[in-house]
Structures are given as structure tokens and as C-alpha cells.
């Protein structure tokens, strides 16, 4: 037959190739009549037999059919499809028969061996052990041979399993290669489907057949590996992939043998598409369950669709065998694909349909399964595609542009507040892209917010707990990661735990990333400090909202209105201009100021801090309040420290960083660009810009001479302060000590006598009204060659016994031995029989189930060690004893603390603690977050505030003033030992109504501020900082702390400065100690710890009387600034003014508002209170040392506080000197420690 086939294909001169072309041109030959086709078939058959006698007679005459133009290569019209099909069927059923036969024989062999083993066992027992040894020896040899044979087969099987598994690189490459070749074979089928179903092809000339042959040889080898590795050969033989190989591989070899091609069942290669998802998983492309499921559904749907289309294409183009293949129709493969789709979708247009019986029968069964698959798969596929994350991409970093990642509590409110401050126009050009990462897709409002800032904001859906999502947002290249907290959550500890886990996840992925996170509770801050990769020195910061919130409120207890001023300083606010002469005009002018940092020009090197501060205020229109000091002590744990108004003993070094209050960042650049040679005669500060001067490094002599001449107001040529002998000594000093480690000290004590009456040349006013005030004891320290922070006079800080523990181990806070809570509890009658005056009343709402708010953060600033003991304000808590017992563990080491069990809504409890005589009433609530309705979250605080304001009191303050110091308890005396006006406290006027009681109320919801003042005209939609209660310092909301996130990112020193201001001196060392023990530890006084007391404090300076009274009536703020700075080293930075002070008619309103950093020409009024930073007075507590110390030592054993005493007898009152009575009536300064 091979020879005949070959002759047939080569006869006629054209061969098989020509017949294929003829068939293509006569594809519609089936339209001829049956008779014509029969006659042509007979003639062609006779001519073929006469021309070639070597052709064998066919053995199956029943399959002789009339030949149409579809089979031009066969001269006798014989179809060979059965040969291709038979090769596949014989392979399949033959292999199946062999496997079944093998299993049957194996089973029979196992049964026979089992029976034979029992017989041999019986014989072994009967014949004895001696014979058994001889008979068992050959058996053992056979067993060893079988074991060796099994081991060899097992190794081959394991090798084959490794080759086809995806666990190794070779296996993955092989699996992927087989899939790719299967798709290639399917593509070859698509190409050949345009040819007839059966055609003659020469293997040596047909390129596609050669490629298909190579593919199938590889498939055959892979089939062998799979067969060897299969554990169950029968199950393997019936697998889908095996069936595909049976009906696609053998026909290719038959095609080569017969030089004839038959499309046949090659469409079954489409079933390989089912493995597409597995291949993608091997390549690590598919990772999520949704993507795997989607690819699975698509691959099953498409493979079934293409396979069914191939079957329809086969039967419709071939026809029914029992109809002699005459009922066929010419359909392309893609028309069959279209037919199957409209059939599955139940549309059925009718333009293409099956004509053959086999095709229609197949359609009957397929429409059942296809319709079910279409109805279930397609909706699920659409749902998976529709549910794909809209924000599921990856961030693409932009070259030259940094990006930050913001995560945590992402809501419309938190994001809008963050973006409003982060992207404020007062900042320099913010070349930072903000990437938000959250596991919940944004709502429509938040999405609209992102679109408005699309140039700088991107959102991605995911979780920071998932490393894959961290990789998507490029956390390893991010400049920082900011974590926002939900300030209104019901469980603060759970929220903190979530943020701590976010920090752990991020640090685990990239330990070097800078993280700034919000924390709600102070005690949870310790968990962050205990994370090994957490490093505050590298910029990691935790903004504890409870610590800062209560710290701000504590500062208001010492200087009312300070919380508002500080909150406005680190928040970016735009300037709102008001033409009318109202209090809002001056308040908003101060609101536009913010806190900035800038390096000081080298022109300031060698000058004292007050000198530079005065120059910046007068000439540069900048207010410098602090510097970053680099200690020369290399053994210091923290060489860089932020010093607030350090005084004239400290000189500016090269590269000193200054902290400024200004309206925008461009103004602060003046401090960096200032040049004495170029800008000395410039009066407009806007003209101070970068000059072209070369600034050589000055010698220590040059710097000290410049400082000397600057202070005395003379030029360097005319100044004779430094003689040749002094210069020689300085040269020796310069050789002995490097410039970087020598502090250039005040020339007034080192080289010349400072003249107090010498006016400043910086002041635009020609005359200074100094009022003949003498210098403070600390105005002229001596020359020191050690760390400037160790100020002279520290050895005289206290004469107490060094064995008494008065301060904590860091020396930053007053400390006492732990007290039992029962010893500090006051009953209502006990409180009523005592005199409480000038104290702090804390009204706290809470119960046994309320979340702790951390009252320690409120008490610590009030117990700062830079207060003398007699200056400490007594603190009285009014609230539930069950709640206070839970807080007491963190409060029992602080002196002068009492508790009155009761409720802040009880007027009897409030009168018992003399609330009309307190310096401040604080209203807090621990139940705010337990209410879902935001309008009701502050109901307790609002009710308590309105209740106090509606109370009426007798004129008891007049009685107290008449009895003078007889009613003032020891340790609570407001007069200064040396009678200096700057060391006293402002005596409050008589209070007969609760409206005049100083109150600060904590709010959760900003909009509830409208309910605090019944007589204001604030719009409910007004922002918090624009409302009257906030401007007056009587309301504080935690939302104002949101601005600290962006402020800390741009400058981490800002957070350190704010924390230093509001916490009373909390340091990283102290936080580490609290994280270790969760309690303050007492320590003995040492020179190092006592030196920590010498830090600045805030005071409110009264202009009504005292050394600055002459400036209070129409004087300029700039004159007051210069006089206070030069005379007392006091740095003024704001005004606390009566609300109606601008009115020409007198008003009874006692409300005040805050004015931040007024200009030089700002006019003062006598009722103003000036916010100022004043130095620590070492001598203020000397005259009362014995009294305060003795009361301090007996504090732990006394049930009542040492500042609370019973009313003394009348005889004692008469013996009081009258001079003290007159001294009590003076107006003094309200002090506050930093």
C-alpha cells in the first residue's frame, strides 16, 4: 500500500501538492449532482487502473465511495480517516487492556503467593528449625533480589516524578514547555483547519506537518515520564491529558506513514488550556484566590468552547458516514466557534446551524451542558472582574520626587485635615507625593477629595500588615510612613494595639523606614519604645494625643490661653484680613504665625542669645524663642538639646539651628541670609536676601570683639573693651581650646563692666523707659570653660539635706514617697472646713468601666522641678472614686494632690473645694467615646461647664484679702521672697459669679463648642480655631493635634519643642524609664539632677502695675520686648487681652483672647497680660526653704495636703505685719514652668 500510495501521489505529474491547490479552487464541488459525481468517479477509476498496474486492490470494498473534488490525491476515492481513528483507538484500548491484564495477573500472583506462603510456613513448623534454616536460605536470596529490583524501579519512578513536578526548576521548565508546545500544536490546528478535513501532504515538503511531528515526539516522551511517575497507572490512563495524547499523537505518525493528513480530533489540544492557571501559579504570577479562580473559570470556559467548535467543524465538513458523507457543508472553524457561542447563550440566530445528524445530536447534548456552564460561569466571571480592586495597582516612583505612605485611620475627616495642613501654601514648595494605603475602598466624598489633589495624592487598597501591599507602595523607598489613629474610637487600647502592629509590620519589612505614628494612650507608648528597630534618633516619633492634650490643658492651668497659642503655632493657617477694629482682627493676625526652624547666619556667631533674639525681632521682624544647642561634652548621652530662651550665658555657635515664630517660611530665610556688612543699614526686612559676600571663618578673638562691640553699641574701631592684654589671653585660650569646644561668654563679666542704662542701638525708639530697674541675679554669669548649661549658682539651688529624695531620678519633677489613696481623700465637710485658694480643680467624669485618660500627663507639668515647692499649685480631683483608684497608681508619687469623691455636676461638691477661688477649673470626661451620637459625646463636659457658669458666690475673696497671709497655707504663698514684681502671681479680683471662674473644657466634637458660650455669635459651621471659646482659651479639642503629623514630618524638632513646652520637661531618658517601670522613681539630689531644674518657664506679665506699668498705657510692644529682654532676660511672645479692650466705653466682660507675636508698633493697654519666657530664679525659694522643705518631708505622712490648713485664730491675724497685707494687694506675674 505504501508503494501504491506513493505512486498515486506522484502520478499525473502534479502529485499531492497540485491536488491540494485544485481542491482549494474547487471547494464547492459537493454541489454537483450525484449522477455526475458517480460517472466521473467511474471514469477516473478506470483510467487509473489502466495507467498503473501496480496498484493493489482494496480489501474493504464497502468503503469505496464516489470521490469528490475534496479527495483529489486518491485516484480511487478511498478515505483513510478510519486509519487515523483506529490508531488512537487501538492505542487507548490496547494500553487499557494491558493494564487490566497486568493487574489481574498481579492479583492472581499475590493470591497464589499468599497461599504458598501459608503451606511453606506449615512445613517449616513440621520439619523443625534445622531444616527450616536450609530451606529458608534460597527464599531469603529471592527476597533480597526482589528488594533490589523494587529499589531500582522506585528510584526511576522518583526521578520521573521530579522531572514532571513543579517543585524543581527542571520540572517547572518542563511543565511550562509542554503547555507552550500544546498551544503551538493548537495554533497549527487553527492553520490547518482552513484546508480540507482530509488531504494528501508530503511530510518532506509540508513545514507545518514537520513542526507538528516534532511537537508530538516531545509529547510522547513527556507521556512516558508521566506514565513512569504515575502511582495508579489505570487512573493515569483515563486522565484528560492522557486521552488528549491518545487522539492527537498517534495520528501524526500515521500521517507521515500515509503522506495523508486528517484534521480529526486534533482540536482536543484545546483542553490543555484548563491547566493555564496552574502554569501561571508555577510562574508565581497568580497569587490571590480571586485571580486564580478567575483564570480557572476563563480557561475551562474557553477550552470547552474551542473543543466543541472543533467537533462541529469535523462532523459538518465531513458529513455522516451512513450518508456516504454527502450531507456535509463547508464551515470554517471560526464559524463553528460563532455557532457554539450563540447556542450556549440561547440566542440562536439561525444563520449558521448544523445539517448533519451527528452535528445535531451533539448540539442536543451540548446545549444542556453549555447553557448550564454559560449561565453559571459568565456571571461569576463578570463578578470577579467587576470586584477587582479599583485601587489595586502599584506605585511608580517619580525620579527626583519623594513620597510618603499614610495609613491607619483613613476617613474623609482625617484625610482632609491632614492634606489641609500638609499641602498648605505657607510651606515651601512641597515636592512630596502622598500615598494613602487602606484596606477599604474610599467612599464617593473621599474619592472626590483624592481627585482634587490628584497631582500629589494617590490611593491604594491594601493593608500594611501584608508585605505584598507594602511592596506595592514602595515602602522601602518611601521618605517616611505616617500612621493615623482614630481619636473617637470606643476602645483606645485596641486602637493603639492596631497601630503598634502596623509599626511592627512596617519595621519588619524595612527596619530603616522612618515612622511617625499617633498614639491615644500614654502607657501604650512604652510598647513602641520596646520595639528593637524603633529609633527616635533616626526620626521615629510617636505623637501621644493624651500626653499632649493633657499637657496643653496643664499649661492653661498655669497661664490661661497658652494652649490656644501653642495650638495655633504648629497649625498652618492662612491669613484672614479684617478691616474692622474688632478682637477677631488682632486674633487672626496672630493665628497666621507658625513655628519654623532655620540655621543662623555666621554673622550671629559669638553673640549671646538675647542679643541675637533682639536683633532678629527688631531688624529681621522674626521672633526666635529657642535654639538647638550642641554640647561640647562628648560623654553626654544627648549632645543635641533644644534650649528655650537659654539666657545671656550661652553664645551662638557656627551652624546653630534657631526656632522662629513667623508667618511663612520665606521670612525665616532672613536669619540665614543676614550679613552685617551688607544688611546693617537696611530698614526694610524684605530686602534682606542672599548676598555675594564671602564669609571667612572668624577667630575667637574676632567673634568676642564683635559680641562686645555689639552689646556696647560702638563700632569695632572705637571699642576699647578688649585691650591688648585681654587679646593675648584670648589668643592663649584659643590655642588651649579648639573653637568648637569653647563657649564665648558674656563680655560684660569677662572683659568689661556692662552699663545697665546704656540704651540698645537696635531699637527704633531713641529713648528706652527702663524705669531704673536693677538686673536680675542671673543676668551676668561668670566666664565658664565647661558646658554652658551648668550655670553658676547651681551650687546654691537648695540647702536641703542631700539624703532627702525631693525629685525623681532625672531631676525633672517633684517627687514624694508613694501615698495610699485613703490618705488624700477629702470628705465634703473636711473640704468645706479648709481653705483652698489658688488651686487647680479637676472635674473628671468616669466610672469603673471607662477607659483611662492618663491623668499623670496632666499632673506632671504642674509638678515640674523648675517650680519651687511653695510655688506648686494644689490639685483637687472631683469625680468617681472608683475611676480615680484606677488612675492613682500613676499619681501617688506627686505631692499636693487631693481627691473629693463626688460628681462635678454637684454644686455642693464644687463649693466645698472653693471653685470660685481656684486658679483654673479643668473639665475632663473618660466617657466621651462610648456614645455613637457625636452631638452627645460632650454632654457631660458641657453640662458641667454651664453649671459652674451659672453659680453665684459671696464676696469671699475680699475677706481673704483682709485676713492676708493668715488664710494662705504654707507652700501656697503667692508673694515672692525678695518682693520682686516679676516673681509674684496675679491676684484675682473678687468672683461673685461662675462666669468669671477660669475654666478650660475638653471637647471631642468640634461643633459642640457652640454650646459652651451662650452669649457668643459663632456660626455652628465655623472652624474651631475661629470660635470665641477657643480664641479665649476656655475650650480645647484633640483635633487641633492633627497638624502635628505634618509638622513633625517636615521638622522633627518641632515635636520635641512642643513636648518640652507642654510636658514640663519629659526627655527620652524619662520615657525610657517609664517604659521600663511605668512609674517615676525617686532619686537623691546631685549637681547633675539639680542642674536640670534650671530651665525656662512661661509667665504672664501684668502691665497694670509693676516695672512695666509705664509701657502699659499706650506704649509699644517692641519697647516692652526689648526692655524685658535686656533687663530680666525675659522673652515676650504674645498678649492675653480683654475681648472688649478696643472699645472706647468700659465693658464688664472679663473674657480675654490670645494675640500671638504682635508687631513692634503694636499698642499696649494697661489690662494686657504678656506671655513671656523667663529664667529660673535660684533665689526665689531661699527664704521659704525651711518651711517648704519641712512641709515636703511631712507630706507622705499627713492625710491633708500641706497647702490646706484650717482657719487660724483672730489673734494670729492681728499679729500679721501690715506690710504683708499691702504686698498681697499688688498685681504680680502668673507663672508657669515648662
Give the pLDDT confidence of 814-852 residue by residue, as tens digits: 999 999 999 999 999 888 888 888 999 999 999 988 888
pLDDT of residue 121: 58
Residue 630 has pLDDT above 90, yes or no: no
pLDDT of residue 990: 66
Strands (DSSP E) found in 600-674: 623-630, 640-644, 657-662
User: Do 66 and 119 belong to one domain?
Assistant: no
User: Do 273 and 293 belong to one domain?
Assistant: no
Q: Which residue has the higher pLDDT, 977 or 161?
A: 161
Is 620 within the bounds of a domain? no
The residue out of 358, 388, 418 marking a domain boundary is 388
User: Do 63 and 147 belong to one domain?
Assistant: no
The cell numbers describing 330, all together, are: 463547508
Is 149 within the bounds of a domain? yes
Query: Is the CB of residue 1191 less than 8 Å from the CB of residue 1202?
Result: yes
User: Do 365 and 415 belong to one domain?
Assistant: no
The kind and range of the H/E element at 1101 are strand 1097-1102
Give the bridge partners for 875, in sequence order: 840, 897
Lowest mean pLDDT among 131-140, 659-668, 768-777, 878-887: 768-777
Q: Which residue has the higher pLDDT, 355 or 635?
A: 355
Using DSSP's 3-state secondary structure scheme, residue 54 falls into: coil
Angle between helices 2-10 and 15-25 (to 10 degrees): 60
Mean pLDDT of all residues in 613-636: 82
User: Do 56 and 132 belong to one domain?
Assistant: no
Q: Which residue has the higher pLDDT, 792 or 810?
A: 810
- pTM attached to this predicted model: 0.67
User: Do 440 and 380 belong to one domain?
Assistant: no
pLDDT of residue 665: 84
pLDDT of residue 683: 76
Q: Report which of 792, 760, 756 is spatially closest to residue 774, judged by C-alpha positions.
A: 756
The residue out of 539, 571, 599 marking a domain boundary is 539
Beta-carbon contacts of residue 383 (< 8 Å; ≥ 6 apart): none
pLDDT of residue 112: 84
User: Would you place residue 520 in the very low, low, confident or very high pLDDT band (cuts 50, 70, 90)?
Assistant: very high
Here the CATH number for the domain that contains residue 384 is 1.10.287.70
pLDDT of residue 763: 38
pLDDT tens profile 675-731? 887 877 777 778 888 887 755 444 444 444 544 444 444 444 444 444 444 444 444
User: Would you place residue 126 in the very low, low, confident or very high pLDDT band (cuts 50, 70, 90)?
Assistant: low
User: Do 115 and 40 belong to one domain?
Assistant: no
Query: Is the CB of residue 839 less than 8 Å from the CB of residue 874?
Result: yes
Is 318 within the bounds of a domain? yes
Here the CATH number for the domain that contains residue 510 is 3.40.50.720
User: Would you place residue 86 in the very low, low, confident or very high pLDDT band (cuts 50, 70, 90)?
Assistant: confident
Lowest mean pLDDT among 301-315, 547-561, 1090-1104: 1090-1104
Residue 1129 has pLDDT above 70, yes or no: yes
Number of domains observed in the structure of the chain: 5
Is 984 within the bounds of a domain? yes
Task: Rounding to the nearest 10 degrees, give the CA dihedral for residues 1172, 1177, 1183, 1186.
Answer: 110
pLDDT tens profile 165-174? 777 788 888 8
Angle between helices 700-712 and 609-618 (to 10 degrees): 60
pLDDT of residue 639: 58
pLDDT of residue 76: 55
Query: Is the CB of residue 798 less than 8 Å from the CB of residue 1061?
Result: no
User: Do 113 and 251 belong to one domain?
Assistant: yes
Query: Is the CB of residue 1013 less than 8 Å from the CB of residue 937?
Result: no
Is 652 within the bounds of a domain? no
Residue 115 has pLDDT above 90, yes or no: no
Mean pLDDT of all residues in 928-935: 71
Beta-carbon contacts of residue 117 (< 8 Å; ≥ 6 apart): none
User: Do 1038 and 915 belong to one domain?
Assistant: yes
Rg (CA), the chain: 48
pLDDT of residue 826: 92
Structural domain containing residue 249: 107-283
User: Do 261 and 294 belong to one domain?
Assistant: no
Mean pLDDT of the chain: 75
Q: Report which of 586, 592, 652 is spatially closest to residue 624, judged by C-alpha positions.
A: 652
Vertex 310, ends 306 and 315: CA angle to 5°? Answer: 150
User: Would you place residue 127 in the very low, low, confident or very high pLDDT band (cuts 50, 70, 90)?
Assistant: low
Name residue, grid cell 497671709.
965
User: Do 265 and 123 belong to one domain?
Assistant: yes
Range ranked top by mean pLDDT from 26-40, 625-639, 1162-1176: 1162-1176
pLDDT tens profile 1065-1116? 777 777 777 777 777 888 888 888 888 888 888 888 888 888 888 888 888 9
Is 1037 within the bounds of a domain? yes
pLDDT of residue 1183: 43
User: Do 264 and 299 belong to one domain?
Assistant: no
Query: Is the CB of residue 458 less than 8 Å from the CB of residue 433?
Result: yes
Mean pLDDT of all residues in 998-1009: 90
Mean pLDDT of all residues in 666-677: 88
Give the bridge partners for 1083, in sequence order: 807
pLDDT of residue 23: 36
Mean pLDDT of all residues in 58-83: 52
Q: Which residue has the higher pLDDT, 872 or 1052?
A: 872
Q: Percentage of the chain surpassing pLDDT 70?
A: 72
d(CA 611, CA 618) in angstroms, rounded, equals 11
Query: Is the CB of residue 549 less than 8 Å from the CB of residue 563?
Result: no
pLDDT tens profile 318-351? 888 888 888 888 889 999 999 988 888 878 788 8
User: Would you place residue 411 in the very low, low, confident or very high pLDDT band (cuts 50, 70, 90)?
Assistant: very high
What DSSP line would sit under 420-448, residue for residue? Answer: HHHT-TTSS---EEEEEEESS---HHHHH
Is 1013 within the bounds of a domain? yes
Q: Percentage of the chain surpassing pLDDT 90?
A: 28
pLDDT of residue 572: 81
Residue 943 has pLDDT above 90, yes or no: yes
User: Would you place residue 117 in the very low, low, confident or very high pLDDT band (cuts 50, 70, 90)?
Assistant: low
Name residue, grid cell 495655633.
568
pLDDT of residue 895: 94
Q: How far is CA 574 from the centre of its chain?
A: 27
Query: Is the CB of residue 203 less than 8 Å from the CB of residue 209?
Result: yes
The residue out of 362, 388, 414 marking a domain boundary is 388
Task: Rounding to the nearest 10 degrees, give the CA dihedral for residues 858, 861, 865, 869.
Answer: -60
Residue 310 has pLDDT above 60, yes or no: yes
Is 830 within the bounds of a domain? yes
Amino acid at each position: 500500500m505504501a508503494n501504491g500510495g506513493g505512486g498515486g501521489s506522484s502520478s499525473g505529474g502534479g502529485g499531492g501538492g497540485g491536488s491540494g491547490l485544485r481542491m482549494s479552487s474547487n471547494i464547492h464541488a459537493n454541489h454537483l449532482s450525484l449522477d455526475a459525481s458517480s460517472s466521473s468517479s467511474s471514469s477516473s477509476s478506470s483510467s487509473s487502473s489502466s495507467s498503473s498496474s501496480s496498484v493493489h486492490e482494496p480489501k474493504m470494498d464497502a468503503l469505496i465511495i464516489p470521490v469528490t473534488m475534496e479527495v483529489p490525491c486518491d485516484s480511487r476515492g478511498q478515505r483513510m480517516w478510519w486509519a487515523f481513528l483506529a490508531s488512537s483507538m487501538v492505542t487507548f484500548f490496547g494500553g487499557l487492556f494491558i493494564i487490566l491484564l497486568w493487574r489481574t495477573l498481579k492479583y492472581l500472583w499475590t493470591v497464589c503467593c499468599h497461599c504458598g506462603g501459608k503451606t511453606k510456613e506449615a512445613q517449616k513448623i513440621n520439619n523443625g528449625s534445622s531444616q527450616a534454616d536450609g530451606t529458608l536460605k534460597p527464599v531469603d536470596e529471592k527476597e533480597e533480589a526482589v528488594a533490589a529490583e523494587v529499589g531500582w524501579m522506585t528510584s526511576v519512578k522518583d526521578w520521573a516524578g521530579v522531572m514532571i513536578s513543579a517543585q524543581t526548576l527542571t520540572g517547572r521548565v518542563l511543565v511550562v514547555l509542554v503547555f507552550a508546545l500544546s498551544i503551538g500544536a493548537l495554533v497549527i490546528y487553527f492553520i490547518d483547519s482552513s484546508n480540507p478535513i482530509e488531504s494528501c501532504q508530503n511530510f518532506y515538503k509540508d513545514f507545518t506537518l514537520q513542526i507538528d511531528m516534532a511537537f508530538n515526539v516531545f509529547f510522547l516522551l513527556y507521556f512516558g515520564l508521566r506514565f513512569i511517575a504515575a502511582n495508579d497507572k489505570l487512573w493515569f490512563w483515563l486522565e484528560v491529558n492522557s486521552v488528549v495524547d491518545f487522539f492527537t499523537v498517534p495520528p501524526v505518525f500515521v500521517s507521515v506513514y500515509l503522506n495523508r493528513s486528517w484534521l480529526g480530533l486534533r482540536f482536543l489540544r484545546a483542553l490543555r488550556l484548563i491547566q493555564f492557571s496552574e502554569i501561571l501559579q508555577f510562574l508565581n504570577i497568580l497569587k490571590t484566590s480571586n485571580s486564580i479562580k478567575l483564570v480557572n473559570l476563563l480557561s475551562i470556559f474557553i477550552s470547552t468552547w474551542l473543543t466543541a467548535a472543533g467537533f462541529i467543524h469535523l462532523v459538518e465538513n465531513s458529513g455522516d458516514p451512513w450518508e456516504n458523507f454527502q450531507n456535509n457543508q463547508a464551515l470554517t472553524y471560526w464559524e463553528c466557534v460563532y455557532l457554539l457561542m450563540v447556542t450556549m447563550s440561547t440566542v440562536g440566530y439561525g444563520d449558521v446551524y448544523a445539517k448533519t445528524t451527528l452535528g445535531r445530536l451533539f448540539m442536543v447534548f451540548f446545549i444542556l451542558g453549555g447553557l448550564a456552564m454559560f449561565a453559571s460561569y459568565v456571571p461569576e466571571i463578570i463578578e470577579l472582574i467587576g470586584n477587582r480592586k479599583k485601587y489595586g495597582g502599584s506605585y511608580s516612583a517619580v525620579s527626583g520626587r519623594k513620597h510618603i505612605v499614610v495609613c491607619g485611620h483613613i476617613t474623609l475627616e482625617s484625610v482632609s485635615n491632614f492634606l489641609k495642613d500638609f499641602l498648605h501654601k505657607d510651606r515651601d514648595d512641597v515636592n512630596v507625593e502622598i500615598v494613602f494605603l487602606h484596606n477599604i475602598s474610599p467612599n464617593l466624598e473621599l474619592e472626590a477629595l483624592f481627585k482634587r489633589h490628584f497631582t500629589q495624592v494617590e490611593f491604594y487598597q491594601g493593608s500594611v500588615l501584608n508585605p505584598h501591599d507594602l511592596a506595592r507602595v514602595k515602602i522601602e523607598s518611601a521618605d517616611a510612613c505616617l500612621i493615623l489613629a482614630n481619636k473617637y474610637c470606643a476602645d483606645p487600647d485596641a486602637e493603639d494595639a492596631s497601630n503598634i502592629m502596623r509599626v511592627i509590620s512596617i519595621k519588619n519589612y524595612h527596619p530603616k523606614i522612618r515612622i511617625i505614628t499617633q498614639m491615644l494612650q500614654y502607657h501604650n507608648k512604652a510598647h513602641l519604645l520596646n520595639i528593637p528597630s524603633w529609633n527616635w534618633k533616626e526620626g521615629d516619633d510617636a505623637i501621644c494625643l493624651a500626653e499632649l492634650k493633657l499637657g496643653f490643658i496643664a499649661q492653661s492651668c498655669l497661664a490661661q490661653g497658652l494652649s490656644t497659642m501653642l495650638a495655633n503655632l504648629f497649625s498652618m493657617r492662612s491669613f484672614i484680613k479684617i478691616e474692622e477694629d474688632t478682637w477677631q482682627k488682632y486674633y487672626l493676625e496672630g493665628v497666621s504665625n507658625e513655628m519654623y526652624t532655620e540655621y543662623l547666619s555666621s554673622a550671629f556667631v559669638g553673640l549671646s542669645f538675647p542679643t541675637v533674639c533682639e536683633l532678629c525681632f527688631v531688624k529681621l521682624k522674626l521672633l526666635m524663642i529657642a535654639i538647638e544647642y550642641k554640647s561640647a561634652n562628648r560623654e553626654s548621652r544627648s549632645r543635641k538639646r533644644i534650649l528655650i530662651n537659654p539666657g545671656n550665658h550661652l553664645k551662638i555657635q557656627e551652624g546653630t539651628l534657631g526656632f522662629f515664630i513667623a508667618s511663612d517660611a520665606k521670612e525665616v530665610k532672613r536669619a540665614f541670609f543676614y550679613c552685617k556688612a551688607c544688611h546693617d543699614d537696611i530698614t526694610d526686612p524684605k530686602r534682606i536676601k542672599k548676598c555675594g559676600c564671602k564669609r571667612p571663618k572668624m577667630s575667637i578673638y574676632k567673634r568676642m570683639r564683635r559680641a562686645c562691640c555689639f552689646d556696647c553699641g560702638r563700632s569695632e574701631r572705637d571699642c576699647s573693651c578688649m585691650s591688648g592684654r585681654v587679646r593675648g589671653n584670648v589668643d592663649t585660650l584659643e590655642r588651649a581650646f579648639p573653637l568648637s569646644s569653647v563657649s564665648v561668654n558674656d563680655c560684660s563679666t569677662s572683659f568689661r563692666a556692662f552699663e545697665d542704662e546704656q540704651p540698645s542701638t537696635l531699637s527704633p525708639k531713641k529713648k528706652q523707659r527702663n524705669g531704673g530697674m536693677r538686673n536680675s541675679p542671673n543676668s551676668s554669669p561668670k566666664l565658664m570653660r565647661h558646658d554652658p548649661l551648668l550655670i553658676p549658682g547651681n551650687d546654691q539651688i537648695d540647702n536641703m539635706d542631700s539624703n532627702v529624695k525631693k525629685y525623681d531620678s532625672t531631676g525633672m519633677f517633684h517627687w514624694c514617697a508613694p501615698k495610699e489613696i485613703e490618705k488624700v481623700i477629702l470628705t465634703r465637710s473636711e473640704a468645706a472646713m479648709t481653705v483652698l485658694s489658688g488651686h487647680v480643680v479637676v472635674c473628671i467624669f468616669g466610672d469603673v468601666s471607662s477607659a483611662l485618660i492618663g491623668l499623670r500627663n496632666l499632673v506632671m507639668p504642674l509638678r515640674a522641678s523648675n517650680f519651687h515647692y511653695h510655688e506648686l499649685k494644689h490639685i483637687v480631683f472631683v469625680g468617681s472614686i472608683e475611676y480615680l483608684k484606677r488612675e492613682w497608681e500613676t499619681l501617688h508619687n506627686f505631692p499636693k494632690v487631693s481627691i473629693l469623691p463626688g460628681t462635678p455636676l454637684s454644686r455642693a461638691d464644687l463649693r466645698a473645694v472653693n471653685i470660685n477661688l481656684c486658679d483654673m477649673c479643668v473639665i475632663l470626661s473618660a466617657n466621651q467615646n462610648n456614645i455613637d451620637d457625636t452631638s452627645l459625646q460632650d454632654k457631660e463636659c458641657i453640662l458641667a461647664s454651664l453649671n459652674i457658669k451659672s453659680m453665684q458666690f459671696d464676696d469671699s475673696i475680699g475677706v481673704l484679702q483682709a485676713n492676708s497671709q493668715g488664710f494662705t497655707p504654707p507652700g501656697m504663698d503667692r508673694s515672692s521672697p525678695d518682693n520682686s514684681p516679676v516673681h509674684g502671681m496675679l491676684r484675682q479680683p473678687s468672683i461673685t459669679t461662675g462666669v468669671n471662674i477660669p475654666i478650660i473644657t475638653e471637647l471631642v466634637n468640634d461643633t459642640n463648642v457652640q454650646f459652651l458660650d451662650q452669649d457668643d455669635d459663632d456660626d455652628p459651621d465655623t472652624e474651631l480655631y475661629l470660635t470665641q471659646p477657643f480664641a479665649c482659651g476656655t475650650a480645647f479639642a484633640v483635633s487641633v493635634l492633627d497638624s502635628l503629623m505634618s509638622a513633625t514630618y517636615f521638622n522633627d524638632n518641632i515635636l520635641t519643642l512642643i513636648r518640652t513646652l507642654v510636658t514640663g520637661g519629659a526627655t527620652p531618658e524619662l520615657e525610657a524609664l517609664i517604659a521600663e517601670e511605668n512609674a517615676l522613681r525617686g532619686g537623691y539630689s546631685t549637681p547633675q539632677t539639680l542642674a536640670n531644674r534650671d530651665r525656662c518657664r512661661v509667665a504672664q506679665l501684668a502691665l497694670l502695675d509693676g516695672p512695666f506699668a509705664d509701657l502699659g498705657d499706650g506704649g509699644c510692644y517692641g519697647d516692652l520686648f526689648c526692655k524685658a529682654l535686656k533687663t530680666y532676660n525675659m522673652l515676650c511672645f504674645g498678649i492675653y487681652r480683654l475681648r472688649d479692650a478696643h472699645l472706647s466705653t468700659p465693658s464688664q466682660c472679663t473674657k480675654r483672647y490670645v494675640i500671638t507675636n504682635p508687631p513692634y508698633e503694636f499698642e499696649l493697654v494697661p489690662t494686657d497680660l504678656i506671655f513671656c519666657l523667663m529664667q529660673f530664679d535660684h533665689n526665689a525659694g531661699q527664704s521659704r526653704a525651711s518651711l517648704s522643705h519641712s512641709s515636703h518631708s511631712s507630706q507622705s505622712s499627713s492625710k491633708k495636703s500641706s497647702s490646706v490648713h484650717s482657719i487660724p485664730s483672730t489673734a494670729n491675724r492681728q499679729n500679721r505685719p501690715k506690710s504683708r497685707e499691702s504686698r498681697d494687694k499688688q498685681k504680680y506675674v502668673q507663672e508657669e514652668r515648662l
